Chains A and B, each alone.
Chain A
Amino acid sequence: MASELSRRGFLAGSGTAAATTFGFNLEAATAVAKELKIARTTQTHSICPYCAVGCSVVIHTIGDKAQNVKPAVVHIEGDPESPINRGTLCSKGASLKEFVNSDTRLTRPLYRAPGASEWQAISWEDAFTRMARRIKDSRDAGFEEKDGQGRVVNRLTNTAMIGGCTDTNEVNYLLGKFRFGMGIIGYENQARL
Chain B
Amino acid sequence: MQTVAKLIDTSLCIGCKACEVACQEWNDQEFTLGTFGGTYQTKPELEHNFWNLIKFNEYETDGQLSWLMMKYQCMHCQDAGCMKACPAPGAIVRLDNGTVDFNHDNCIGCGYCITGCPFDVPRLSPTTKKVYKCTLCSDRTAVGLEPACIKTCPTNCLTFGTRTDLLRKAEDRAVELQADGSTHAGVYNPQGVGGTNVIYVLKDASNPESYGLPKDPTIPWTVSLWKGPVKLLGSVIFLGGILGTFFHYIRFGPKLEEEHPDD
Contacts and interface: CB of A to CB of B under 8 A. Distances in A.
- A and B bind: yes
Interface of A: 4-5, 8-18, 20-24, 26, 28-30, 32-37, 75-78, 85, 87-91, 93-95, 97-98
B17 interface: yes
B94 A26 contact: yes
Contacts of B154: 85, 88-90
A87 B153 CA distance: 9
Given A22-B89, A97-B25, A14 B84 contact: no
A17 B95 contact: yes
A98 B20 CA distance: 14
B94 A20 contact: yes
B218 interface: no
A34 B139 contact: yes
Interface stretch (B141-149, B168-176, B243-251): B141-149
Contacts of B145: 4-5, 8, 36
A78 B152 contact: yes
Instruction: Give the secondary structure class of B's interface.
Output: mixed
Contacts of B140: 36
B18 A29 contact: no
Given A30-B142, A36-B140, 6 more contacts: A11-B162, A14-B4, A17-B96, A23-B234, A91-B16, A95-B21
Interface stretch (B64-72, B98-106, B185-193, B254-262): B98-106
Nearest to B165: A10
Interface string B46-72: 000000000000000000000000000
A88 B152 contact: yes
A14 B25 contact: no
Interface in B1-44: 1, 4, 16-18, 20-22, 24-26, 28, 31
15 contacts: A5-B145, A10-B144, A10-B161, A17-B96, A20-B93, A23-B231, A33-B101, A36-B140, A78-B152, A85-B154, A88-B153, A89-B18, A90-B152, A94-B25, A98-B25
Given A24-B90, A88-B18, A14 B99 contact: yes
